């Protein structure tokens, strides 16, 4: 069983911190093996969401009990709902907590199953209302971006003539594959439209490499949806994911067409 | 006193981010206004196209909304972390791949759900794998076969599936989730 003690320092003789959310460290002890590790608390600076970061940290480390000076009711509820027991009101050193445990003055493990434990989920009216409120909040916060993306897609559909695409391709397979990937990234819509357009491009003599890259990036890369993806999942993630998907489209297109040619002949 | 200052700063931050959120749709709306002055017919066509998109995403949005409520009810961060968290192993890669393949509707309908999953402790890689695998649409495969042939479609589908894992692992590596 693992317990986490919020601590002011990295040593076992450090004081148990007064507040869980902003404690500088968590000392995580494995009571079976006796091993311990010191983890910096990502929320130590006290910014918004510090308490949630402690919850995430405890959950990811498989902690089943947290010992601290004070824990806010909201964070306590979060920890408890994850099967993590909270012992607050402790004024001692980390070593002192351990000695109390060894002497049997402290008992851990109210939730024996810990993080992996199976908890009975009680659904009452307030839990249900909270779940709906949470879902509505998430939706409302992304609604403006969604509206923007839909309006922009409408603009693309109306203002970019389909024949314009064929005229752009040069005849050079490598360059055309890049062009295909670029156009697929810019244009958005139902994937079936990419098959229709891809089919037309093929008939007009555009290489299958280019058409494959076009079909691939149509769904995997979204320049039109990028603002909405950034808002939902963060700038770094959205840019990296779209960039990687774009870069990968060229080798995937080449491999797909080469294998197809090998088999079909 | 300090608490009051902190709270007022938080409020300012919230209203700032709300303003930023409105910037993009406002900019697109402004483009519509300008285009309407120059090319009213085409702009109305664009608006109609947007309306038809809205009618197409109503059902997926309702589905996503219901899934979000169920997730809020039955899935806590610990379970999310175990299923698709940073240390969820191969299961954490396969599960989002299957979910991506069977998910329907435009991607922006799924963003609220993905954000919810992320806030519950999902790693970055499952989200990337989910998004990449949305390119595989089993119900559209017959149409694709009609255009490009069976062999091509099978090979492309396998390559896309493998590509999704490449993107997933690369995201893990580049965002220090690995």
The answer to whether residue B53 sits within a structural domain is no
The answer to whether A147 faces chain B, any CB pair under 8 Å, is yes
For residue B82, give how far its alpha carbon lies from the nearest alpha carbon of chain A (Å): 8
Specify the CATH number of the domain A2-116. Answer: 3.30.420.130
CB contact (8 A) between residue A82 and residue B77: yes
Could you give the CA distance from residue A229 to residue A133 in angstroms, rounded to a whole number? 22
CB contact (8 A) between residue A220 and residue B131: yes
The answer to whether B173 faces chain A, any CB pair under 8 Å, is no
Report the first-to-last Cα separation within chain B, whole angstroms. 43
The answer to whether residue B144 sits within a structural domain is yes
Could you give the CA distance from residue B161 to residue A211 in angstroms, rounded to a whole number? 18
Q: What is the dihedral of CA B77, B78, B79, B85, to 10 degrees?
A: 80
- Residue pair A73/A20 in contact (Cβ under 8 Å)? The answer is no
Tell me how many degrees the CA angle B108-A149-A199 measures, rounded to the nearest 5. Answer: 80
Q: Identify the pLDDT of residue B17.
A: 59
Domain with CATH 3.30.420.130 in chain A: 2-116
Least CB–CB distance from B114: residue in A128, A198, A233: A233
- Residues of chain A with confidence (pLDDT) below 70: 32-33, 46-50, 102, 104-124, 162-163, 165, 188-190, 265
The answer to whether residue B3 sits within a structural domain is no
Does the pLDDT at position B8 exceed 60? no
The answer to whether B112 faces chain A, any CB pair under 8 Å, is yes
Sequence-ordered alpha helix ranges (H) in A14-116: 50-60, 73-81, 94-102
Query: Within chain A, how many helices (H) and strands (E) appear?
Result: 10, 5
Q: Which residues of B touch A81 (CB under 8 A)?
A: 76
The answer to whether A57 faces chain B, any CB pair under 8 Å, is no
CB contact (8 A) between residue B167 and residue A244: yes
Average pLDDT, chain B: 79
Query: Within chain B, how many helices (H) and strands (E) appear?
Result: 8, 0
Q: Identify the pLDDT of residue A120.
A: 47
Q: Is B113 helix (H, G, I), strand (E, B) or coil?
A: helix
**B7: which 2 tokens?**
């709270």
Least CB–CB distance from B10: residue in A48, A115, A255: A48
Which contiguous run of DSSP H or E holds residue A37?
strand A36-40
Does the pLDDT at position B100 exceed 80? yes
Least CB–CB distance from A151: residue in B22, B25, B82: B25
A90's CB contacts (< 8 A; 6+ apart) are: A16, A67, A68, A69, A97
CB contact (8 A) between residue A145 and residue B21: yes
pLDDT in tens, B109-143: 788 888 878 877 788 899 999 999 888 877 778 87
Task: Please state the separation of Cα B13 from the chain's center in Å.
Answer: 25
Could you give the CA distance from residue B158 to residue B115 in angstroms, rounded to a whole number? 28
Nearest to B122 by CA among B69, B71, B164, B174: B71
Q: Is A50 helix (H, G, I), strand (E, B) or coil?
A: helix
Nearest to A242 by CA among B17, B135, B132, B165: B132
Residue B177's pLDDT band (cuts 50, 70, 90): low
Share of chain B above pLDDT 70, in %: 78
CB contact (8 A) between residue A157 and residue B42: no
Q: Which residues of A touch B46 (CB under 8 A)?
A: 151, 154-155, 157-159
Q: Identify the pLDDT of residue A47.
A: 64
Least CB–CB distance from A60: residue in B86, B131, B149: B86
Could you give the CA distance from residue B109 to residue B86 in angstroms, rounded to a whole number? 25
pLDDT in tens, A195-238: 877 887 887 788 999 999 999 998 899 888 888 889 888 899 99
Longest dimension (CA), chain B: 70
Most confident of A173-177, B62-66, B73-77: A173-177
Nearest to B72 by CA among A48, A6, A135: A135
Q: Identify the pLDDT of residue B6.
A: 43
The answer to whether B62 faces chain A, any CB pair under 8 Å, is no
pTM for the full predicted model: 0.60
A209's CB contacts (< 8 A; 6+ apart) are: A173, A174, A176, A177, A180, A253, A254, A257
Residue of A48, A117, A132, A195 best to disrupt the B interface, most CBs of B under 10 A: A195
Domain with B64 in it:
58-174
Q: How many domains does chain B have?
A: 1
CB contact (8 A) between residue B68 and residue A135: yes
Please provide residue B64's backbone torsions phi and psi, each rounded to the nearest 5 degrees.
Answer: -60, -40
For residue B149, give how far its alpha carbon lies from the nearest alpha carbon of chain A (Å): 10
């Amino acid at each position: 069983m693992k317990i986490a003690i919020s601590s002011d320092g990295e040593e076992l003789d450090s004081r148990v911190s007064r507040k869980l959310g902003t404690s500088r460290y968590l000392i995580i002890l494995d009571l079976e093996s006796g091993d311990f590790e010191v983890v910096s608390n990502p929320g130590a600076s006290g910014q918004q969401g510090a308490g949630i970061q402690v919850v995430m940290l405890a959950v990811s480390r498989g902690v089943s009990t947290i010992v601290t000076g004070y824990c806010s009711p909201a964070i306590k509820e979060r920890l408890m709902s994850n099967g993590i027991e909270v012992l607050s009101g402790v004024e001692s050193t980390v070593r002192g907590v351990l000695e109390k445990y060894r002497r049997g003055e402290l008992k851990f493990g109210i939730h024996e199953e810990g993080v992996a434990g199976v908890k009975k989920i009680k659904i009452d009216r307030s839990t249900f209302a909270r779940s709906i409120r949470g879902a509505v909040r998430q939706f409302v916060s992304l609604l403006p971006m969604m509206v923007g993306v839909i309006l922009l897609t409408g603009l693309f559909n109306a203002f970019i003539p389909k024949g314009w695409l064929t005229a752009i391709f040069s005849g050079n397979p490598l360059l055309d594959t890049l062009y295909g990937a670029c156009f697929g990234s810019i244009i958005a819509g139902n994937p079936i439209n990419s098959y229709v357009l891809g089919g037309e491009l093929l008939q007009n003599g555009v290489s299958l490499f280019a058409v494959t890259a076009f079909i691939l990036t149509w769904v995997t890369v979204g320049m039109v949806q990028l603002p909405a993806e950034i808002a939902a999942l963060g700038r770094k993630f959205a840019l990296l994911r779209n960039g990687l998907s774009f870069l990968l489209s060229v080798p995937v297109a080449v491999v797909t067409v080469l294998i197809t040619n090998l088999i079909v002949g | 006193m300090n608490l009051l200052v902190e709270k007022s700063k938080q409020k300012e931050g919230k209203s700032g981010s709300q303003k930023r959120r409105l910037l993009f749709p406002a900019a697109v709306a402004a483009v519509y206004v300008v285009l309407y002055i120059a090319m009213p017919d085409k702009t109305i066509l664009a608006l109609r196209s947007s309306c038809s998109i809205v009618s197409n995403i109503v059902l997926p949005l309702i589905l996503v909304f219901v899934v979000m409520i169920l997730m809020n009810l039955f899935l806590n961060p610990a379970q999310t972390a175990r299923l698709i968290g940073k240390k969820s192993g191969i299961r954490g890669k396969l599960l989002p791949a299957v979910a991506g393949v069977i998910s329907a509707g435009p991607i922006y309908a799924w963003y609220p759900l993905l954000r919810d999953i992320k806030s519950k402790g999902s790693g970055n890689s499952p989200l990337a794998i989910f998004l990449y695998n949305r390119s595989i649409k089993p119900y559209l495969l017959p149409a694709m076969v009609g255009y490009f042939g069976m062999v091509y479609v099978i090979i492309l589908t396998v390559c896309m599936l493998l590509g999704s894992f490449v993107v997933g692992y690369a995201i893990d590596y580049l965002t220090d989730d690995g």
